[in-house]
Amino acid sequence: MSEATKERVRAAAEQLGYAGPDPRAASLRRGRSGIVGVLLEDRLADAFRDPINIAMLDGIAEETGAVGAGLLLLTESGTELANVTAAPMDAAILIACSTRLDESVARLRQRGLPLVAIEADDIDGVLAIGLDNREATARGAQHLRELGHSRVAVVALPIETGGASGPLPRDWDERATSFTALERLRGARDVFGSFDGWIADGSTIEAGYEAAMALLSSERIPRPTAIIAQSDLVAIGVIRAARQLRLSVPEDLSVLGFDGIDIAEEYELTTLVQPAQLKGRAAGRAVVELLAGGFPEPVGFTCELRIGATTGPAPS
Amino acid sequence: MSEATKERVRAAAEQLGYAGPDPRAASLRRGRSGIVGVLLEDRLADAFRDPINIAMLDGIAEETGAVGAGLLLLTESGTELANVTAAPMDAAILIACSTRLDESVARLRQRGLPLVAIEADDIDGVLAIGLDNREATARGAQHLRELGHSRVAVVALPIETGGASGPLPRDWDERATSFTALERLRGARDVFGSFDGWIADGSTIEAGYEAAMALLSSERIPRPTAIIAQSDLVAIGVIRAARQLRLSVPEDLSVLGFDGIDIAEEYELTTLVQPAQLKGRAAGRAVVELLAGGFPEPVGFTCELRIGATTGPAPS
DNA sequence: CGATTCGATCAAATCGATTCGACTAAGATA
DNA sequence: TATCTTAGTCGAATCGATTTGATCGAATCG
């Protein structure tokens, strides 16, 4: 096209007040909107309070951003089911969703969207990005056992959406719908058989504090010598509760975390370090491949046990 | 419609493999996609590292989610300019964007989208959600002056996109494009006239630590008796650097923060508490109103000076 | 009983970019 | 010179839901 013509077109567009090609029309015709949905279980503030989720999201953004796709945040709460149905996205990434029963996931599948799930049950047609939650927790538990601990308690992440915090029910294996929490519980059981536990209100320091207070000052159950926390934030809360109760860590109480977030290093937390950003990147890359018509393989990541200063020999 | 007909339709849809109404087509016809864009200056991981942004985003989500709109995350980096142009959104919220010159903002305006800017220069047709950055900083600075400080230094947030960390240039008033950093610098100038300063690498503890190390161990400039940090995270970094250098806070060095994030309370930080979530809510509500054809008013929020344990009388 | 109205049903036009096919013109080759 | 490419233009069909206007039947009212 000649430069003069270009200019003439530009001028005409200007005069007519043409605001540029309408993305809506383009996406209808092309069948692509350039949007990848990210479905989060929690409400936004909760989801982003945990550095793990942020790292994952960042990994996702890195890969999807590279092909010019935007990230649409979707939460399952309330009226937003409409959102899941009506959002013009090309694919979706499910983060920590209870995929088994969930209605929104069903809708997404029904729409025929390529789906990638991070840490979820295997589902037909949904590409899984996994983490060895169970084995990793077992490894951490084994570490505690080797230190002589036998009376351990678990502070679990919420095991079902909308569930309240409180003592971990005996039948958690049947009741839990949150995949990650469930797998980590199983890992603890693999080593210790049965144990007491408390469900925290989320992956936050405060929730960990509350839970540990309940566990450590209960008259109903004997005080554990070690606590397996299902996240580092929770573990930090546990440590604070112990301090509050004048228990020293690790002399009186050993604390095991999960995640390996930055702040855990300051506390010299013994924890299971997971590659959160890589997980996100893998999910992002999988989505990109799926959209390009490829057939990406499921990916599984493993955690590394990092021994810090919060676990020690069981008190005699 | 009769129940029988309904069922017949449903069956037919099932048989034809109809995947539900196509949101792309609906959004073309209706002229609405149900998506609100959120334009962030930083890359995602940086933006979400600061609890302030998360709180804001949560506030936004609360209001936009209530009308069934999803949030599309957009960053200005690299190839994503295409994104800003091609994303099918109904409106956009600009967070901490350098609105004056920015190309992406120009594109958004050109597209005729309703725009809401949080903490930005006034622009025609862009609804402003403001914060009294300048006055609040001045109030904090005044507090320091009343404590007898005269040699203060500022650790500033990045004053331009892509700018490196380093000493604060004398001509910051002309060079800065980041509205928030600029206003807070002006607030400090209102009270102290001139001062030394260092530009941090972002709103993180590490960046604050680096900056304070540079400021406090410099041989070029006399050691300040107080440091004005432009965010709480930075302030915490400053405190750590002071500790590292065996300076006690507030005896040897007073530290003033900004934001009032949760973690600041643990440090008993003297800081300017801003209503971050309200800011987000206001922006969200404004967008909703704009989309409904209303004419919302600009909103301005104010910070509250919370005096903690990190500021004290200047050493004699 | 005829006329009016209300509701339901259906066909057609619309949103705006993209893509496909046809057609034209200019240049290259036999 | 005639034919065949190649490039470039242009009109028309398409994506799929929504909305409007028209048509029809039934029920109500005078």
pLDDT in tens, A154-183: 999 999 887 789 999 999 999 998 999 999
Which residues of chain A lie closer than 8 angstroms to B20, CB-CB? 85, 107, 110-111
Q: How confident is the model at residue B315 (pLDDT cuts 50, 70, 90)?
A: very high
* Residue A225: HSE in the Cβ half-sphere, 13 Å Cα cutoff: 15
Best of B18, B36, B39, B44 to mutate (most A CBs within 10 Å, chain A): B44
Shortest alpha-carbon distance between residue A195 and chain B (Å): 32
According to the model, what pLDDT value does residue B221 have?
A: 83
pLDDT of residue B217 exceeding 80: yes
Asked if residue A28 keeps its beta carbon closer than 7 A to nucleic acid strand C, the reply is yes
| CATH code, residues B3-131+275-301 | 3.40.50.2300
- Residue given tokens 């996109």 in the structure block: B161
According to the model, what pLDDT value does residue B1 have?
A: 56
Report whether B271 contacts B260 (CB < 8 A). yes
Q: How many Å separate Cα A140 from the centre of its chain?
A: 19
Q: Is B172 helix (H, G, I), strand (E, B) or coil?
A: helix
How far: B12 CA to D26 C1' (Å)?
29
Shortest alpha-carbon distance between residue B148 and chain A (Å): 34
According to the model, what pLDDT value does residue B4 have?
A: 67
What does the pLDDT average to over B166-172?
A: 95
pLDDT of residue A279 exceeding 60: yes
pLDDT of residue B69 exceeding 70: yes
- Record: contact A88-B33, CB cut-off 8 A: yes
Digit-coded pLDDT (tens) for B260-279: 998 898 899 999 999 999 99
According to the model, what pLDDT value does residue B107 have?
A: 86
pLDDT of residue A115 exceeding 90: yes
A32-131+275-301 belongs to CATH 2.60.120.10: no
Share of chain A above pLDDT 90, in %: 68
List beta partners, residue A270.
A256
- The H or E element spanning position B179 is helix B179-192
Average pLDDT, chain A: 91
Instruction: Sketch the domain layout of chain B as residue ranges.
Output: 3-131+275-301, 133-274
- A35 → chain B, closest CA residue: B87
What does the pLDDT average to over B195-218?
A: 95
| CA B205 to each of CA B211, B232, B236: distance values in angstroms, whole numbers, following the listed order | 10, 8, 6
Instruction: Indicate the fold that domain A133-274 takes in CATH.
Output: Rossmann fold (3.40.50)
Q: A263 or B156: whose pLDDT is higher? A: B156
Best of B14, B18, B22, B24 to mutate (most A CBs within 10 Å, chain A): B24
- Record: contact B23-A61, CB cut-off 8 A: no
3-state SS string over chain A? Answer: CCHHHHHHHHHHHHHHCCCCCCHHHHHHHHCCCCEEEEEECCCHHHHHHCHHHHHHHHHHHHHHHHCCCEEEEEECCHHHHHHHHHCCCCEEEEECCCCCCCHHHHHHHHCCCCEEEECCCCECCEEEEEECHHHHHHHHHHHHHHCCCCCEEEEECCCCCCCCCEECCCCHHHHCCCHHHHHHHHHHHHHHCCCEEEECCCCCHHHHHHHHHHHHCCCCCCCCCEEEECCHHHHHHHHHHHHHCCCCCCCCCEEECCECCHHHHHCCCEEEECCHHHHHHHHHHHHHHHHCCCCCCCEEECCEEECCCCCCCCCC
- Angle between helices B23-30 and A23-30 in degrees, nearest 10: 150
Report whether A80 contacts B65 (CB < 8 A). yes
- Angle between helices B179-192 and B133-146 in degrees, nearest 10: 30
Q: Is B155 helix (H, G, I), strand (E, B) or coil?
A: strand
* Closest nucleotide to the alpha carbon of B31, via C1': C15
According to the model, what pLDDT value does residue B48 have?
A: 85
Digit-coded pLDDT (tens) for A68-110: 888 999 876 655 566 788 899 999 999 987 766 677 888 888 8
Structural tokens at position A218: 């209960």
User: What does the alpha-carbon distance between residue B124 and residue B127 come to, in Å, rounded to a whole number?
Assistant: 8
- Record: contact A70-B57, CB cut-off 8 A: no
pLDDT of residue B78 exceeding 60: no
- Record: contact A65-B57, CB cut-off 8 A: no
According to the model, what pLDDT value does residue A77 have?
A: 60
Count Cβ atoms within 10 A of the Cβ of residue A5 and give its class: 0-12 exposed, 13-18 middle, 19 or more buried. exposed
* Closest nucleotide to the alpha carbon of A28, via C1': D15
User: What does the alpha-carbon distance between residue B269 and residue B255 come to, in Å, rounded to a whole number?
Assistant: 8
* Closest nucleotide to the alpha carbon of B2, via C1': C8
- Residue given tokens 């599948």 in the structure block: A109
Q: How confident is the model at residue B152 (pLDDT cuts 50, 70, 90)?
A: very high
| Helix, strand, coil share of chain B (percent; to 5) | 45, 20, 40
Quick one: which of A6, A90, A81 has its CA closest to A287? Answer: A90
Q: Tell me if B3-131+275-301 shares its fold with B133-274.
A: yes
According to the model, what pLDDT value does residue B101 have?
A: 61
Structural tokens at position A31: 């069948």
Best of B22, B28, B43 to mutate (most A CBs within 10 Å, chain A): B28
User: What does the alpha-carbon distance between residue A221 and residue A217 come to, in Å, rounded to a whole number?
Assistant: 9
CB–CB contacts below 8 A, A to B: 146
According to the model, what pLDDT value does residue A82 have?
A: 65
Digit-coded pLDDT (tens) for B24-62: 999 999 999 999 999 887 777 788 888 999 999 999 999
How far: B28 CA to C13 C1' (Å)?
15
Digit-coded pLDDT (tens) for B126-141: 999 999 999 999 999 9
User: What does the alpha-carbon distance between residue B271 and residue B259 come to, in Å, rounded to a whole number?
Assistant: 7
Nearest 5°: CA angle at B73, between B54 and A127? Answer: 105
According to the model, what pLDDT value does residue B76 have?
A: 67
Asked if residue A25 keeps its beta carbon closer than 7 A to nucleic acid strand C, the reply is yes
- Residue given tokens 């149905």 in the structure block: A85
- B74 → chain A, closest CA residue: A70
pLDDT of residue B170 exceeding 60: yes
- Among A92-96, A278-282, B147-151, name the one with the lowest average pLDDT: A92-96
Structural tokens at position A140: 């951490």
Q: Which of B44, B85, B112 sits opposite A58 (nearest CB)?
A: B44
Digit-coded pLDDT (tens) for A235-275: 999 999 999 999 999 999 999 999 999 889 889 999 999 99
Q: A316 or A202: whose pLDDT is higher? A: A202
Digit-coded pLDDT (tens) for A205-220: 999 999 999 999 988 8
Q: How confident is the model at residue B313 (pLDDT cuts 50, 70, 90)?
A: very high
According to the model, what pLDDT value does residue B85 have?
A: 84
Q: B120 or B76: whose pLDDT is higher? A: B120
pLDDT of residue A47 exceeding 90: no
- Record: contact A70-B78, CB cut-off 8 A: no
Average pLDDT, chain B: 91
